[in-house]
A and B are shown apart, each in its own frame.
Chain A
Amino acid sequence: DAGVIQSPRHEVTEMGQEVTLRCKPISGHNSLFWYRQTMMRGLELLIYFNNNVPIDDSGMPEDRFSAKMPNASFSTLKIQPSEPRDSAVYFCASTLGDTSYEQYFGPGTRLTVT
C-alpha cells in the first residue's frame, strides 16, 4: 500500500486563483482529516470526515475554504479565492475509524500563494 496519497506535492499560484488539493486515503480507512501546517500555528485540523460525511468543520478558516469527500477513496480541499496567508503545507490523514486512533499522514502539499 502506498499509504495516503496527496496531489499535487507543490502548488504555486497567484492570489485570487482557485486551488484544489486532492487526497486518496488508505483503502479501508473510514475517517479522513485535512490539516494545515504553519510555523506559527503548527498543525491545525481543518475538517474531518467519517464514512464520507463531514463530522467537524470548525477548523475551516472561512468561506473561501471548502472540502468534499464524494466517495471513500477521494477527497478534495478547495480554496477560492486564494490569498497569500493561505500559504502553508496541507496534510491529509486517514484512520481506520476504530479505537486505535493512529492517523496515517500523506506527504503533504506545499502551497505558495503569491
Chain B
Amino acid sequence: QVQLVQSGAEVKKPGASVKVSCKASGYTFTSYGISWVRQTPGQGLEWMGWISAYNGNTNYAQKLQGRVTMTTDTSTSTAYMELKSLRSDDTALYYCARGRSGSGSYPFWGQGTLVTVSS
C-alpha cells in the first residue's frame, strides 16, 4: 500500500533553514509527483508547491518563491522540502502528499512534520 513517511519535528530559530523529508513506498516513485501542503496552528491548508519525481520539474506558490526548494532522490524514493530564511509565521505542520494518476487531488498524505520557528 502507498505510504508516505515524513521526518520528525524540528525547532528552528528565525533566519535559519529547515529540510523536511518524505519517504515514499508502495508504488513506483518516479510515476507520480509529490506536493507539499502546510497548515498553520488552528488555520487552513496552504499549497506550497509540487515536484515531478520523474524529471524534477517544480512549481512553487508565488509567496514562497525564492525561499522554498523541493527536490527528490530517486535512489531512496524520498522527496525533500527545504525552506530558508524562516520566520515565526512559518511555524506550521508540513505535509507531503501524492496525487492520483493524472489528477491534482490527494488520496495519499504523510503524517505531517511540525516545524516550530522561535527565538
The reply to whether chain A is a binding partner of chain B is no
**A residues engaging B (CB < 8 A)?**
none
**B residues engaging A (CB < 8 A)?**
none
